[in-house]
Structures are given as structure tokens and as C-alpha cells.
């Protein structure tokens, strides 16, 4: 179960609150789930109820088995009592169970005893159990005797089962709030400032201001996974410290209501993160058809306006302001990096830190800040896991914190790229594990520095991915397992960035295989993350094409740019900004009720013009004397250089 340490969970919620979907997300990591359906079939002529039941059935994976318990209320307790420790059960829901319990066919009966029997079965059940139930305590008292009997019985059942369960969650408008376990004192090392496990934190402390001293680059390879550390320094605006806030606490930013434990944020499957505004995007695109333009409009670039409108929550989105580029630098050992020059990725990272190269120059042109993030080197995936599970947890939290830091600095758009050796093979392995892709079909050709195609290196990469998939053929296919076995540090950090940016409602411009591979993994942790991603150009890369198709991301351009991850997106960024600025500034066409600039009044006098002077201008005689030598000027300070962002264990 995705909720670590909890064997039984009760999920409460109102009608259409999303309680069933949240409960289903808690058991997605189970290979087989026994779905216990408690609701009776109902009136055959009630098509609306039949449609609801059909929707529930269609949502269940094919590996789940369904058992009906509506015939006998006491059968549910018997199933729970006989469940094996290796089983996972999902009961949906107790409202249907109470309906059957109160049915005249099962009366007279001792309802209190039956509810107590169910609660005891939940308490002693050795299997993992998730129960769904309607929360009726917030509604009005029913006006009918039968309605009051149902409310009383269901309220009693909810209280008894909640007392028996290890954890209880309340889902309101699709957002889960954890009510149990009871609030406990969080140790001082815990990043949350509240004692409740589901409570969101307060305001984030700003990043430490950058200094002129050379930064220290750390590595995660030998790091301890538990302690949280301060984020690396970044040359960006430092927000003021909020009142009553400890500056040293990096985990004080408001985010989604996620489970918190003593070691920090729990990144798990089935997280409920925010979605973009589903109405603002279509409204913005419809508005484009009314603008005063001489031609047919923006063409396929209207998708940029729709995306920006949805992520900004307005039908008139503005061009993105502060932009930050996150360049992830982490190599992959073994056959994944076949054909690459040793030390080339480190040279590219150092070049970006020094403000040189295509990426740094394009970032300067776009007014974007650039942060180079060192990630741990991945082991040869053909022989062993790329990372340990502890390193994956640290990498996910680290990426989340990078996104949090960017949001706190006022960044409105993140650009995600990577420059490590072997990233394409790692991305291909992730795609093969998540989308069933064939490695040769998603591995691009290997091009040497001289522009030649290295088929031998390409075959070595294919063999490395093939052997890695064979080695992990019986391994779990959970998101964290894939990152540990195949993905590596850069893909794991990129996944954390996508999740953190989604939680803080910051859109991400993807560029290259690493970002798309992270998108494939993040959808299993929080399906909302892909809706905050934008792809400017696929660059002709087969892995990017496939992942974009699976994620539903249509590239905006087809320029086949290959300037390096991050640089391709920055090259397209001015065009995207221009589209947004134009869409926001243009008025509505006058024929559709828009305002038009008034013409000059008929009796307004014509402007007077001075008579032109055609006399030849006079020129001063040039002075060809030798100039005095200039004194030494000020040396370049290199103020545009960015410090390296070191990796510290999280």
C-alpha cells in the first residue's frame, strides 16, 4: 500500500468528492486487488445509477477481481476475517453496505452488533484493506424516518470502522486530508512546522543569497538519505522572510496536503496535486477568434495560449516573467554512455556555470536564470541498479525542493534539461519499462564530435538497455523501483522537479529525453503533473516523440533543433512569449463589438510641415593627429556567471 506503515485505511468523503478515486490510488502498487462491491444493483429502470456502477467497473484494472457482498451484510466481515496477509482488499463502499443492512429483507436484525462485528473484523484483518464510506455527518438531518435511520446507522459504522483502522482520510473536492493517526509531536529535525500528519506547512524560507566565493560541489553517491540540508545557492531574487518564520527551515512553503513523517515529505503513488484550470484554457482559445488580426490567427500556437491560460487560471494570460533553467548534470556508467567522450558532460556543465556556450547565451538573451544541478552518477544498469532506493528518495525530495525554491523566488516558468553522459539510454530504458517501447526504436543514432554516425556505440547502448530490462524482468514496476533500477539520479531529480512544480502550480517547459522520461515516471506518482508540462520541439529524437505521444504532449514546433537539452527550449521561448504578449494586447475586432481608434475629425486642420532645407551640410575638417594612449580599464568581473549548484543528500 502506498501509505507506509498503515495496514487499514478508511477513506471518507461526500458525494462526487473523489473518495473512490483516491482510495483506488492507494492500492495501485498492489499486483492483485480484491474489490468488494457492497452496493445492490438497484432498480433496473434507474439508468443513472446503472451508469455510475458501470463507470466504477470500467475504472478497475484488469488484474483486479470483483466480489459482490450485497446479498448478505455479514458476508463482508467474513471476507475480511478470512483474508490472507499477502492480499489487498478495497471495500467500496460502506454506504451500500448499510443500505443492504437496513433492507426489510434482512430485518429484524441487531444492527449495532453487525456494525461491531464488522469493526472487529477490520481491526483483526491480516490483509491490507482500504474502505470507502460516505461522510454524512455534515449534511442536514433527514426529514423521513428511513433517512434518519440510514444516517444514524452509517454514522455509527463510520465511527466504529474509523476507530478500528490505522489511518483515516477525508476527501473534499478531490483533496485528501489525513485525520488519523492522531496528531503527534514532530521531532525538531522534521521539516514540517505542524504536528498533524496531513497539515500543510507555512511559508518557505528564502534561499541564501549568493556570494562571490566559489561554491562547493557535493555528491550524493555516498550520502545518508535521512537528513535534510539547505538548498544550493542561486543568483535570483531573495523573497523577504515571513513573520514568525525560521529562516533555516527549507520546508515551510505552502503546498498540497500530503502525508508528513519525521523524515520529511512523503512522495508516493496516488498523490492528489492541483490541476490547471479546465475552463480558462478553452475560453482563451475561443477569445483568439475574436481578436483584431488581419489573418487567420496564431495557427497551432494557439495551444500556447490555452496552456498558459489554464496554468495561470485566466482567459487572458500574460507572457511568462522570470524563467529559470535547471540543467541536470549526472553521468550513467557502463554501456549507456558508449560513444561519449570522457569528461565531455563535465565540460558542458562547467561551461554553463561560467556563462559560456549555447545554453548560457540563450538564457542571457531570454533573461532567464541558469542553475546547474549535480546529480549522482548512475551505476551500469546492465549489471546492477542505477541507484539505491534511499538515493531515489533523496533525489525526489531534492528535485521537489528545487521547484519549491524557484516558486518562492517568483519564477513563472521552469525549463528542464540535462547534460550527462548516457542520458538517452537511461531514458530509453525508462520508456521500455513504462510504455513497453523497444530500445532500438527509441534510441537515437550516436553522432561523434566529427559529425559521423557511430553504429558500434549505438549497438552497445541497445545491448545495455536490453540487458538491464532482462535483469529487472521480475522486479516491481513501481515508479521508485524504475528510477532505482533504470533511471538514475538525473531522471529521479527531474521527476521530483515536475512533482514539486505541479504542487506549486509552476509550468515546466520540457526539452530532451530526461524530462520526458521523468514525465513518464511522474504520471504514476501524480497523474496531474503532465498537465503542467509543455513541449516546444521534439528535436527529431525518437524517445521524445514516443513519450510525448503517451503523455499527450503535442510539440508546438517542428524545427528539429539539436542545441542540447534546455537550449532548444530557450531558442523557442521568445516566440512563445511573443505569442502570449500579442494575444493579451490585441483588442477585439470592431465587428464583434471591440473598440476602434477614432479617426481624426473632418474639420481638424492638417499638420503643418516645415519647408525642407536642401542646402549642403557643413562638415568639420577631420583631425588625424595621433590619439593619447588610454589608461588601463576595469577588468571584467564576470557578473553573469552562475555558481554551481552542489548536490547534497536529502
How would DSSP label each residue in 545-588? HHHHHHHT---SB-----S-TTHHHHHHHHHHHHHHHHHHHPPB
Integer Cα distance of 374 and 352 in angstroms = 12
Angle at 156 between CA 151 and CA 158, to 5 degrees: 95
Q: Mean pLDDT over residues 480-509, rounded?
A: 92
Confidence of residue 642 (pLDDT cuts 50, 70, 90): very low
pLDDT of residue 625: 54
Integer Cα distance of 68 and 47 in angstroms = 20
CB distance 454 to 446 below 8 Å:
yes
* Torsion angle defined by CA atoms of residues 94, 95, 101 and 104, in that order, rounded to the nearest 10 degrees: -170
Query: Which pTM value belongs to this model?
Result: 0.55
Per-residue pLDDT of 117-133, as tens digits, reads: 999 999 999 889 999 99
**Secondary structure, 3-state, 439-499:** HHHHCCCCECCCCCECHHHHHHHHHHHHHHHHHCCCCCCCHHHHHHHHHCHHHHHHHHHHH
Peptide bond preceding 93: is omega within 30 degrees of 0, i.e. cis?
yes
CB distance 6 to 167 below 8 Å:
yes
Percent of the chain predicted with pLDDT > 70: 75
Percent of the chain predicted with pLDDT > 90: 23
User: Residue 36: which of 103, 93, 85, 121 has the closest Cα?
Assistant: 93
| Cross-strand partners of 265 | 260
User: Residue 29: which of 380, 608, 477, 521 has the closest Cα?
Assistant: 477
User: How much of the chain is in helix, strand and coil states, percent to nearest 5?
Assistant: 40, 10, 50
Confidence of residue 214 (pLDDT cuts 50, 70, 90): very low
Per-residue pLDDT of 509-544, as tens digits, reads: 998 889 999 999 998 898 889 899 999 888 778 888
What is the residue-averaged pLDDT of the chain?
Answer: 77
Least confidently predicted of 81-85, 128-132, 237-241, 282-286: 237-241
Which one has a higher pLDDT value, 214 or 14? 14
Sign of CA dihedral 353, 354, 355, 360: negative
pLDDT of residue 43: 63
Q: Report, as residue numbers or ranges, the catalytic residues.
A: 565
pLDDT of residue 437: 81
Answer yes or no: is pLDDT of 228 > 90: no
Which one has a higher pLDDT value, 587 or 109? 587
Integer Cα distance of 393 and 374 in angstroms = 16
Confidence of residue 486 (pLDDT cuts 50, 70, 90): very high
- The runs of H, that is alpha helices, within 47-185 are 47-59, 75-82, 94-101, 111-124, 145-164
Least confidently predicted of 54-68, 70-84, 199-213, 405-419: 199-213
Answer yes or no: is pLDDT of 341 > 50: yes
> H or E segment at 352?
helix 344-353
Query: Terminus-to-terminus CA distance in the chain, angstroms?
Result: 24
What SS3 state is found at 335?
helix
Amino acid at each position: 500500500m502506498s501509505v507506509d506503515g498503515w495496514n487499514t485505511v478508511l477513506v471518507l468523503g461526500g458525494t462526487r468528492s473523489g473518495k473512490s478515486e483516491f482510495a483506488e490510488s492507494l492500492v495501485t502498487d498492489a499486483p492483485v486487488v480484491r474489490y468488494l462491491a457492497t452496493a445492490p444493483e438497484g432498480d433496473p429502470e434507474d439508468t443513472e445509477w446503472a451508469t455510475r456502477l458501470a463507470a466504477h467497473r470500467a475504472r478497475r484494472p484488469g488484474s483486479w477481481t470483483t466480489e459482490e457482498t450485497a446479498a448478505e451484510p455479514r458476508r463482508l466481515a467474513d471476507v475480511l476475517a478470512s483474508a490472507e496477509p499477502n492480499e489487498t482488499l478495497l471495500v467500496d463502499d460502506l454506504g451500500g453496505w448499510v443500505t443492504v443492512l437496513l433492507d426489510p429483507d434482512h430485518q429484524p436484525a441487531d444492527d449495532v452488533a453487525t456494525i461491531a462485528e464488522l469493526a472487529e473484523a477490520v481491526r483483526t484483518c491480516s490483509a491490507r484493506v482500504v474502505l470507502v464510506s460516505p461522510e454524512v455527518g455534515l449534511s442536514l438531518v433527514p426529514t423521513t424516518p428511513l433517512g434518519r435511520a440510514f444516517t444514524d446507522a452509517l454514522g455509527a459504522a463510520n465511527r466504529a470502522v474509523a476507530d478500528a483502522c490505522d489511518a483515516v482520510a477525508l476527501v473534499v473536492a478531490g483533496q485528501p486530508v489525513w485525520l488519523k493517526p492522531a496528531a503527534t509531536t514532530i521531532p525538531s529535525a522534521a521539516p514540517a512546522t505542524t504536528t498533524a500528519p496531513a497539515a500543510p506547512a507555512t511559508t518557505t524560507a528564502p534561499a541564501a543569497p549568493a556570494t562571490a566565493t566559489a561554491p562547493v560541489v557535493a555528491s550524493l553517491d555516498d550520502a545518508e538519505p535521512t537528513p535534510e540540508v539547505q538548498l544550493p545557492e542561486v543568483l535570483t531574487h531573495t523573497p523577504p522572510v515571513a513573520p514568525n518564520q525560521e529562516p533555516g527551515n527549507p520546508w515551510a512553503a505552502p503546498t498540497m496536503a500530503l502525508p508528513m513523517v519525521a523524515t520529511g515529505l512523503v512522495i508516493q503513488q496516488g498523490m492528489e496535486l492541483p490541476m490547471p484550470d479546465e475552463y480558462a484554457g478553452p475560453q482563451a482559445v475561443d477569445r483568439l477568434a475574436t481578436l483584431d488580426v488581419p489573418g487567420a490567427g496564431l495557427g497551432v500556437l494557439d495551444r500556447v495560449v490555452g496552456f498558459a491560460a489554464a496554468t495561470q487560471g485566466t482567459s487572458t494570460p500574460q507572457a511568462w516573467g522570470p524563467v529559470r533553467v535547471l540543467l541536470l548534470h549526472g553521468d550513467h556508467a557502463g554501456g549507456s554512455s558508449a560513444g561519449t567522450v570522457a569528461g565531455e558532460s563535465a565540460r558542458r556543465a562547467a561551461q554553463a556555470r561560467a556563462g559560456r556556450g549555447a545554453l548560457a547565451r540563450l538564457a542571457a538573451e531570454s533573461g532567464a536564470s541558469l542553475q546547474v544541478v549535480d546529480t549522482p552518477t548512475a551505476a551500469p544498469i546492465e549489471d546492477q541498479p542505477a541507484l539505491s532506493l534511499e538515493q531515489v528518495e533523496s533525489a525526489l525530495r531534492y528535485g521537489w525542493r528545487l521547484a519549491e525554491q524557484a516558486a518562492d523566488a517568483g519564477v513563472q516558468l521552469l525549463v528542464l534539461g540535462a547534460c550527462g553522459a548516457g542520458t538517452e539510454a537511461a531514458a530509453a530504458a525508462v520508456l521500455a519499462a513504462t510504455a513497453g517501447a523497444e530500445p532500438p526504436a527509441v534510441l537515437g543514432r550516436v553522432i561523434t564530435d566529427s559529425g559521423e554516425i557511430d553504429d558500434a556505440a549505438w549497438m552497445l547502448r541497445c545491448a545495455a538497455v536490453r540487458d538491464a530490462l532482462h535483469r529487472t524482468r521480475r522486479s516491481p514496476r513501481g515508479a521508485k523501483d524504475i528510477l532505482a533500477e533504470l533511471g538514475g539520479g538525473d531522471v529521479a531529480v527531474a521527476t521530483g522537479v515536475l512533482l514539486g512544480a505541479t504542487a506549486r502550480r509552476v509550468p515546466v517547459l520540457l526539452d530532451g529525453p530526461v524530462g520526458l522520461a521523468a514525465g513518464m515516471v511522474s504520471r504514476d506518482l501524480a497523474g496531474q503533473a503532465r498537465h503542467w508540462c509543455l513541449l516546444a520541439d521534439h528535436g527529431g529524437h525518437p524517445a521524445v516523440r514516443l513519450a510525448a505521444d503517451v503523455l499527450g504532449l503535442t510539440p508546438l514546433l517542428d524545427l528539429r533543433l539539436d542545441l542540447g537539452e534546455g537550449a532548444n527550449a530557450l531558442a523557442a521561448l521568445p516566440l512563445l512569449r511573443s505569442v502570449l504578449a500579442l494575444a493579451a494586447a490585441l483588442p477585439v475586432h470592431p465587428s464583434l463589438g471591440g473598440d476602434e481608434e477614432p479617426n481624426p475629425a473632418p474639420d481638424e486642420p492638417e499638420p503643418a510641415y516645415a519647408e525642407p532645407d536642401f542646402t549642403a551640410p557643413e562638415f568639420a575638417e577631420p583631425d588625424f593627429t595621433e590619439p593619447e594612449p588610454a589608461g588601463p580599464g576595469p577588468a571584467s568581473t564576470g557578473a553573469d556567471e552562475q555558481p554551481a549548484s552542489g548536490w547534497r543528500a536529502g
